[in-house]
Structure 1
Amino acid sequence: MAYTIINILLSLFICSSITFYFGYLFGRSRAPLRGSRLNPIFKQQGNIYNKPQILGVPRPKGKDDLKEIQGIDSDLEKELNDLGIFHFDQISKWSSRNQEWVEVFLNISGQIESDKWVSQSVRLVDHKRK
């Protein structure tokens, strides 16, 4: 009886090992290579203390239309959203170091200051509250 059980278990182990080996061998060669997407927060080096407040997801009321700020188009809005910036009040609280960090991160040198994103977002936040 013990001999039969050992034979069955040994046969199952050998069959599963062979199946695993062939599955790995043939499955690996036919599987498409998937590219990985790097989280945009890691694309640029910078002082972490200069990074503005970011959110993982928009607040429950939904994200603001950042295109209302002069100088932000749909592509730039998507990049800001990927970074974790969804709302006018986030931009309105940026310091000059925060602005510099975002400009370096998004490669938009001087655009935030020249287009006055912070003052525009302060005005939009005040307008939303009324």
Structure 2
Amino acid sequence: MFEIASLIVVNLFVAAIIGFIAGYLIGRPKNAKIDSIENPNYTNANESKLDTKAKPAINPVFRKNAQLDYKPLVLSSPKPIGKDNLQKIKGINSVIENNLNNLGIYHFEQIAKWSNKNCDWIEEFLHFPGCAKNNQWVEQAKILQLGKETIYSQKIENGELEAD
């Protein structure tokens, strides 16, 4: 009985070693360099010139200092009908719309549900203090989600104005 138990333990130990080796070989970066692993401050001039798209993207939520408690509802992708033109809201230009889309905000309905704390979070996230509250994004979004138009959105639609 003792012999069988010892054989099981030896087999488990061998399997663990094989598993660690296989995990290391599969999970290591393809261009891993020992210098960069041993010295975290190591920088190679050639590495800085590499395409930044090759690096995995970090969710923008985790790069900001805003409290996640007040983060508004976000979606992983727009609804099948497509995303709304958020530039119809006064104060949202193409850059802000792109940042909101990257965050997961695609529709007027999402903005219409924001609270004051959500607005504070978005303003801190975008680094534009007061932009959502001063331009009344929530109120405009409530109108636009119903299919109605604001004066500003009508001017955008008619081409009288370009988005901010």
Instruction: Return the TM-score normalized by structure 2.
Output: 0.57
1:52-88 per-position Cα deviation (integer Å, ceiling 9, x unaligned): 0001110111100000001111111000000110000
* Relative contact order higher in (CA < 8 Å, ≥ 6 apart): 1
Aligned match of 1:64: 84
User: Which has more radius of gyration?
Assistant: 1
Q: Which structure is higher in helix share?
A: 1
Q: State which of 85, 104, 112 in structure 2 corresponds to 1:84.
A: 104
Q: State which of 87, 110, 123 in structure 1 corresponds to 2:130.
A: 110
How far, CA to CA, are the matches of 2:32 and 2:62 in structure 1? 30
How far, CA to CA, are the matches of 1:126 and 1:59 in structure 2? 16
How far, CA to CA, are the matches of 2:64 and 2:123 in structure 1? 11
Query: Alpha-carbon deviation of 1:45?
Result: 2.2
Aligned match of 2:5: none
How far, CA to CA, are the matches of 1:102 and 1:53 in structure 2? 11
Within 5 Å, give how 1:1-130 maps onto structure 2: 33-35=50-52, 36=55, 37-127=57-147
Residue type matched to 2:117 in 1?
R
How far, CA to CA, are the matches of 1:28 and 1:53 in structure 2? 38
Q: CA-atom RMSD, angstroms?
A: 2.2
How far, CA to CA, are the matches of 2:50 and 2:143 in structure 1? 48
Instruction: Return the TM-score normalized by structure 1.
Output: 0.71
How far, CA to CA, are the matches of 1:46 and 1:109 in structure 2? 12
Aligned match of 2:24: none
Residue type matched to 1:80 in 2?
L
Contact residue 43 and residue 105 of structure 1 kept, 8 A: no
Give 3-state SS (helix, strand or coil) of 2:146's partner: helix
How far, CA to CA, are the matches of 2:111 and 2:50 in structure 1? 38
Unaligned runs of 5+ in 2: 1-30, 34-45, 149-164
Instruction: Report the number of matched residues.
Output: 102
Give 3-state SS (helix, strand or coil) of 1:127's partner: coil
How far, CA to CA, are the matches of 2:63 and 2:142 in structure 1? 28
Contact residue 89 and residue 121 of structure 1 kept, 8 A: yes
Query: Alpha-carbon deviation of 1:28?
Result: 7.2
